Structure 1
Protein backbone atom coordinates (compact mmCIF):
# COMPACT_ATOMS: atom_id res chain seq x y z
CA UNK A 1 0.00 0.00 0.00
CA UNK A 2 1.44 3.40 -0.95
CA UNK A 3 2.49 5.86 1.73
CA UNK A 4 0.48 9.01 1.01
CA UNK A 5 1.49 12.45 2.20
CA UNK A 6 -0.50 15.67 2.52
CA UNK A 7 0.73 18.98 1.07
CA UNK A 8 2.09 19.91 4.51
CA UNK A 9 3.87 16.57 4.94
CA UNK A 10 5.34 16.82 1.44
CA UNK A 11 6.54 20.34 2.23
CA UNK A 12 8.41 19.08 5.27
CA UNK A 13 9.77 16.06 3.37
CA UNK A 14 11.09 18.11 0.43
CA UNK A 15 11.70 21.34 2.37
CA UNK A 16 9.43 23.15 -0.10
CA UNK A 17 6.93 25.86 0.73
CA UNK A 18 3.24 25.17 0.13
CA UNK A 19 3.34 27.83 -2.57
CA UNK A 20 6.05 25.92 -4.48
CA UNK A 21 4.11 22.66 -4.18
CA UNK A 22 0.92 24.27 -5.48
CA UNK A 23 2.87 25.83 -8.36
CA UNK A 24 4.25 22.39 -9.27
CA UNK A 25 0.71 20.98 -9.09
CA UNK A 26 -0.61 23.74 -11.35
CA UNK A 27 2.17 23.02 -13.87
CA UNK A 28 1.41 19.31 -13.67
CA UNK A 29 5.06 18.58 -13.02
CA UNK A 30 4.78 16.73 -9.70
CA UNK A 31 3.17 13.30 -9.30
CA UNK A 32 -0.03 13.66 -7.26
CA UNK A 33 -3.50 12.25 -6.84
CA UNK A 34 -6.63 13.98 -5.67
CA UNK A 35 -8.71 12.26 -3.02
CA UNK A 36 -11.95 14.16 -2.59
CA UNK A 37 -10.80 17.75 -2.87
CA UNK A 38 -7.38 17.15 -1.24
CA UNK A 39 -4.06 16.54 -2.96
CA UNK A 40 -2.07 13.49 -1.86
CA UNK A 41 1.44 12.41 -2.80
CA UNK A 42 2.81 8.87 -2.97
CA UNK A 43 6.23 8.94 -1.32
CA UNK A 44 7.67 6.33 -3.70
CA UNK A 45 6.47 8.31 -6.74
CA UNK A 46 7.93 11.52 -5.27
CA UNK A 47 11.29 9.81 -4.69
CA UNK A 48 11.30 8.54 -8.29
CA UNK A 49 10.33 12.02 -9.54
CA UNK A 50 13.22 13.56 -7.59
CA UNK A 51 15.73 11.03 -8.94
CA UNK A 52 14.53 11.45 -12.52
CA UNK A 53 14.31 15.23 -12.32
CA UNK A 54 17.76 15.57 -10.83
CA UNK A 55 19.27 13.66 -13.74
CA UNK A 56 18.67 16.85 -15.71
CA UNK A 57 19.51 19.42 -13.04
CA UNK A 58 23.03 19.41 -11.67
CA UNK A 59 24.45 22.23 -9.64
CA UNK A 60 27.66 24.11 -9.06
CA UNK A 61 27.98 24.20 -5.28
CA UNK A 62 30.38 25.97 -2.92
CA UNK A 63 30.99 24.62 0.58
CA UNK A 64 32.69 26.94 3.09
CA UNK A 65 33.63 25.15 6.32
CA UNK A 66 36.82 25.00 8.37
CA UNK A 67 36.24 21.30 9.15
CA UNK A 68 37.97 19.18 6.52
CA UNK A 69 35.71 16.19 7.27
CA UNK A 70 32.60 18.25 6.54
CA UNK A 71 34.08 19.61 3.31
CA UNK A 72 35.02 16.07 2.24
CA UNK A 73 31.56 14.73 3.09
CA UNK A 74 29.89 17.41 0.94
CA UNK A 75 32.37 16.97 -1.92
CA UNK A 76 32.22 13.17 -2.07
CA UNK A 77 28.46 13.05 -1.59
CA UNK A 78 27.55 15.70 -4.14
CA UNK A 79 30.15 14.83 -6.77
CA UNK A 80 28.79 11.28 -6.55
CA UNK A 81 25.44 12.78 -7.58
CA UNK A 82 27.01 14.56 -10.57
CA UNK A 83 27.29 18.05 -9.09
CA UNK A 84 30.37 20.27 -9.33
CA UNK A 85 31.64 21.06 -5.83
CA UNK A 86 34.22 23.66 -4.81
CA UNK A 87 35.32 23.77 -1.17
CA UNK A 88 36.89 26.54 0.89
CA UNK A 89 38.39 26.13 4.35
CA UNK A 90 38.40 29.81 5.32
CA UNK A 91 36.15 32.80 4.91
CA UNK A 92 38.78 34.54 2.75
CA UNK A 93 38.91 31.56 0.36
CA UNK A 94 35.11 31.44 0.33
CA UNK A 95 34.57 35.09 -0.59
CA UNK A 96 37.27 34.82 -3.27
CA UNK A 97 35.38 31.88 -4.81
CA UNK A 98 32.08 33.78 -4.67
CA UNK A 99 33.61 36.76 -6.46
CA UNK A 100 35.38 34.61 -9.06
CA UNK A 101 32.67 32.08 -10.03
CA UNK A 102 28.92 31.67 -10.18
CA UNK A 103 27.30 29.07 -7.93
CA UNK A 104 23.82 27.62 -7.78
CA UNK A 105 24.06 27.18 -4.01
CA UNK A 106 26.49 27.91 -1.18
CA UNK A 107 26.71 25.96 2.08
CA UNK A 108 28.26 28.24 4.71
CA UNK A 109 29.43 27.21 8.18
CA UNK A 110 28.24 29.77 10.71
CA UNK A 111 31.25 29.38 12.99
CA UNK A 112 34.50 30.04 11.12
CA UNK A 113 37.81 30.88 12.82
CA UNK A 114 38.79 34.26 11.38
CA UNK A 115 35.54 35.63 9.94
CA UNK A 116 32.29 34.34 11.34
CA UNK A 117 29.62 33.11 8.97
CA UNK A 118 27.30 36.06 9.62
CA UNK A 119 29.98 38.53 8.49
CA UNK A 120 30.87 36.36 5.50
CA UNK A 121 27.19 36.14 4.51
CA UNK A 122 27.06 39.95 4.57
CA UNK A 123 30.10 40.12 2.26
CA UNK A 124 28.60 37.51 -0.08
CA UNK A 125 25.27 39.36 -0.26
CA UNK A 126 27.16 42.55 -1.04
CA UNK A 127 29.03 40.84 -3.90
CA UNK A 128 26.11 38.76 -5.22
CA UNK A 129 22.75 39.66 -3.63
CA UNK A 130 20.79 36.83 -5.28
CA UNK A 131 23.22 34.05 -4.32
CA UNK A 132 21.31 31.25 -2.52
CA UNK A 133 22.94 30.32 0.79
CA UNK A 134 22.29 27.55 3.29
CA UNK A 135 23.84 28.05 6.74
CA UNK A 136 25.24 24.87 8.30
CA UNK A 137 25.38 25.17 12.05
CA UNK A 138 25.34 23.47 15.39
CA UNK A 139 24.22 26.78 16.93
CA UNK A 140 20.77 27.54 15.46
CA UNK A 141 19.74 29.88 18.29
CA UNK A 142 23.02 31.78 18.60
CA UNK A 143 23.76 35.49 18.41
CA UNK A 144 25.64 34.81 15.15
CA UNK A 145 22.47 33.32 13.66
CA UNK A 146 20.55 36.43 14.72
CA UNK A 147 23.11 38.60 12.91
CA UNK A 148 22.96 36.35 9.85
CA UNK A 149 19.16 36.68 9.73
CA UNK A 150 19.59 40.42 9.21
CA UNK A 151 21.25 39.67 5.85
CA UNK A 152 18.05 38.32 4.32
CA UNK A 153 16.63 34.86 3.72
CA UNK A 154 18.70 31.69 3.67
CA UNK A 155 18.30 27.99 4.31
CA UNK A 156 19.48 26.28 7.49
CA UNK A 157 20.99 22.81 7.89
CA UNK A 158 21.51 21.86 11.52
CA UNK A 159 24.45 19.73 12.57
CA UNK A 160 24.76 16.84 12.87
CA UNK A 161 23.72 15.72 9.40
CA UNK A 162 24.67 12.93 7.03
CA UNK A 163 25.03 12.33 3.29
CA UNK A 164 21.31 11.69 2.80
CA UNK A 165 20.49 15.06 4.43
CA UNK A 166 22.91 16.79 2.05
CA UNK A 167 21.41 15.07 -1.01
CA UNK A 168 17.86 15.89 0.10
CA UNK A 169 18.73 19.55 0.72
CA UNK A 170 20.45 20.02 -2.65
CA UNK A 171 17.84 18.08 -4.65
CA UNK A 172 15.00 19.99 -2.98
CA UNK A 173 16.65 23.33 -3.63
CA UNK A 174 17.46 22.58 -7.28
CA UNK A 175 13.98 21.18 -7.95
CA UNK A 176 12.36 24.27 -6.40
CA UNK A 177 14.62 26.56 -8.43
CA UNK A 178 13.73 24.67 -11.59
CA UNK A 179 10.02 24.97 -10.77
CA UNK A 180 10.36 28.76 -10.40
CA UNK A 181 11.86 29.13 -13.87
Structure 2
Protein backbone atom coordinates (compact mmCIF):
# COMPACT_ATOMS: atom_id res chain seq x y z
CA UNK A 1 0.00 0.00 0.00
CA UNK A 2 1.41 3.32 -1.01
CA UNK A 3 1.36 5.95 1.69
CA UNK A 4 -1.08 8.79 1.20
CA UNK A 5 0.60 12.15 0.84
CA UNK A 6 -0.29 15.25 2.79
CA UNK A 7 1.08 18.67 1.87
CA UNK A 8 1.06 21.38 4.53
CA UNK A 9 1.17 24.94 3.22
CA UNK A 10 1.61 27.62 5.89
CA UNK A 11 4.02 30.49 6.34
CA UNK A 12 4.28 29.72 10.06
CA UNK A 13 7.06 27.26 10.69
CA UNK A 14 5.63 26.10 14.03
CA UNK A 15 2.35 25.07 12.47
CA UNK A 16 4.08 23.18 9.66
CA UNK A 17 6.24 21.28 12.12
CA UNK A 18 3.27 20.44 14.35
CA UNK A 19 1.11 19.21 11.47
CA UNK A 20 3.97 17.23 9.92
CA UNK A 21 4.50 15.46 13.23
CA UNK A 22 0.81 14.71 13.67
CA UNK A 23 0.23 13.40 10.16
CA UNK A 24 3.59 11.65 9.97
CA UNK A 25 2.62 9.69 13.07
CA UNK A 26 -0.71 8.85 11.39
CA UNK A 27 1.29 7.08 8.71
CA UNK A 28 1.12 9.69 5.95
CA UNK A 29 4.01 10.92 3.88
CA UNK A 30 4.19 14.63 4.66
CA UNK A 31 5.50 17.55 2.65
CA UNK A 32 5.67 21.19 3.65
CA UNK A 33 5.78 24.53 1.91
CA UNK A 34 6.11 28.03 3.34
CA UNK A 35 4.65 29.70 0.26
CA UNK A 36 2.63 29.11 -2.89
CA UNK A 37 5.57 28.80 -5.24
CA UNK A 38 7.12 25.95 -3.24
CA UNK A 39 3.70 24.35 -2.76
CA UNK A 40 3.04 24.21 -6.49
CA UNK A 41 6.51 22.82 -7.19
CA UNK A 42 5.84 20.00 -4.72
CA UNK A 43 2.43 19.31 -6.27
CA UNK A 44 4.09 18.88 -9.66
CA UNK A 45 6.74 16.46 -8.39
CA UNK A 46 4.88 14.61 -5.64
CA UNK A 47 1.13 15.02 -6.19
CA UNK A 48 -0.42 14.97 -2.71
CA UNK A 49 -3.71 13.33 -1.86
CA UNK A 50 -4.64 16.16 0.46
CA UNK A 51 -3.44 19.71 1.04
CA UNK A 52 -3.79 21.65 4.28
CA UNK A 53 -3.69 25.20 3.03
CA UNK A 54 -3.42 28.40 5.02
CA UNK A 55 -5.59 31.21 3.71
CA UNK A 56 -3.21 34.02 4.62
CA UNK A 57 0.19 33.50 3.04
CA UNK A 58 2.46 36.34 1.92
CA UNK A 59 2.79 36.57 -1.84
CA UNK A 60 0.31 34.18 -3.39
CA UNK A 61 -2.63 33.88 -0.99
CA UNK A 62 -4.54 30.74 -0.17
CA UNK A 63 -7.30 31.33 -2.72
CA UNK A 64 -4.78 31.83 -5.51
CA UNK A 65 -2.88 28.70 -4.50
CA UNK A 66 -6.18 26.80 -4.35
CA UNK A 67 -7.05 27.88 -7.91
CA UNK A 68 -3.66 26.66 -9.16
CA UNK A 69 -3.96 23.36 -7.26
CA UNK A 70 -7.39 22.63 -8.72
CA UNK A 71 -6.19 23.55 -12.21
CA UNK A 72 -3.28 21.12 -11.87
CA UNK A 73 -5.35 18.36 -10.32
CA UNK A 74 -9.13 18.73 -9.89
CA UNK A 75 -9.25 15.65 -7.62
CA UNK A 76 -6.86 17.02 -5.03
CA UNK A 77 -8.49 17.34 -1.61
CA UNK A 78 -7.97 20.68 0.09
CA UNK A 79 -8.72 21.75 3.64
CA UNK A 80 -8.28 25.46 4.37
CA UNK A 81 -6.84 26.93 7.55
CA UNK A 82 -7.69 30.48 8.47
CA UNK A 83 -6.85 32.76 11.34
CA UNK A 84 -9.56 35.23 10.49
CA UNK A 85 -13.33 35.23 10.36
CA UNK A 86 -13.18 35.95 6.65
CA UNK A 87 -16.41 34.35 5.64
CA UNK A 88 -16.30 35.76 2.12
CA UNK A 89 -12.89 34.15 1.53
CA UNK A 90 -14.07 30.89 3.06
CA UNK A 91 -17.15 30.98 0.85
CA UNK A 92 -14.99 31.56 -2.21
CA UNK A 93 -12.63 28.75 -1.19
CA UNK A 94 -15.61 26.40 -0.90
CA UNK A 95 -16.82 27.46 -4.34
CA UNK A 96 -13.32 26.76 -5.69
CA UNK A 97 -13.50 23.25 -4.26
CA UNK A 98 -12.09 23.34 -0.73
CA UNK A 99 -13.74 20.65 1.37
CA UNK A 100 -13.84 22.49 4.68
CA UNK A 101 -11.93 24.95 6.80
CA UNK A 102 -10.45 25.12 10.27
CA UNK A 103 -10.09 28.38 12.13
CA UNK A 104 -6.84 28.87 14.00
CA UNK A 105 -6.12 28.02 16.71
CA UNK A 106 -7.68 24.75 15.62
CA UNK A 107 -8.23 21.57 17.58
CA UNK A 108 -5.51 19.26 16.30
CA UNK A 109 -7.59 16.16 17.02
CA UNK A 110 -10.52 17.47 15.04
CA UNK A 111 -8.22 18.15 12.13
CA UNK A 112 -6.63 14.71 12.41
CA UNK A 113 -10.05 13.06 12.35
CA UNK A 114 -11.14 15.16 9.36
CA UNK A 115 -7.99 14.32 7.38
CA UNK A 116 -8.24 10.61 8.20
CA UNK A 117 -11.86 10.63 7.14
CA UNK A 118 -11.01 12.23 3.79
CA UNK A 119 -8.03 10.00 3.06
CA UNK A 120 -9.51 6.73 4.23
CA UNK A 121 -12.75 7.14 2.33
CA UNK A 122 -11.14 6.37 -1.03
Into which bin does the TM-score normalised by the smaller protein fall? Answer: 0.7 to 0.9
Q: Which has the higher helix share?
A: 1
Question: For the residues of structure 1 that align with 2:89 and 2:111, how far apart are their CA atoms?
Answer: 22
In structure 1, stretches of 5+ residues that fail to align are 1-55
Alpha-carbon RMSD across the aligned residues, in angstroms, is 1.9
Contact kept in structure 1, 2:94 and 2:100, CA below 8 Å: no
Question: For the residues of structure 2 that align with 1:170 and 1:77, how far apart are their CA atoms?
Answer: 11
Partner of 2:56: 111
Question: For the residues of structure 1 that align with 2:116 and 2:72, how far apart are their CA atoms?
Answer: 25
Q: How does 1:50-129 map to 2 (within 5 A)?
A: 58-129=3-74
Q: TM-score, normalised by structure 2?
A: 0.87
**How far 1:173 sits from its partner (Å)?**
1.3
User: Highest Rg: 1 or 2?
Assistant: 1
- The runs of at least 4 consecutive aligned structure 1 residues that moved more than 3 Å come to 140-143
In structure 2, stretches of 5+ residues that fail to align are none
Please tell me whether residue 169 in structure 1 is matched to residue 114 in structure 2.
Answer: yes
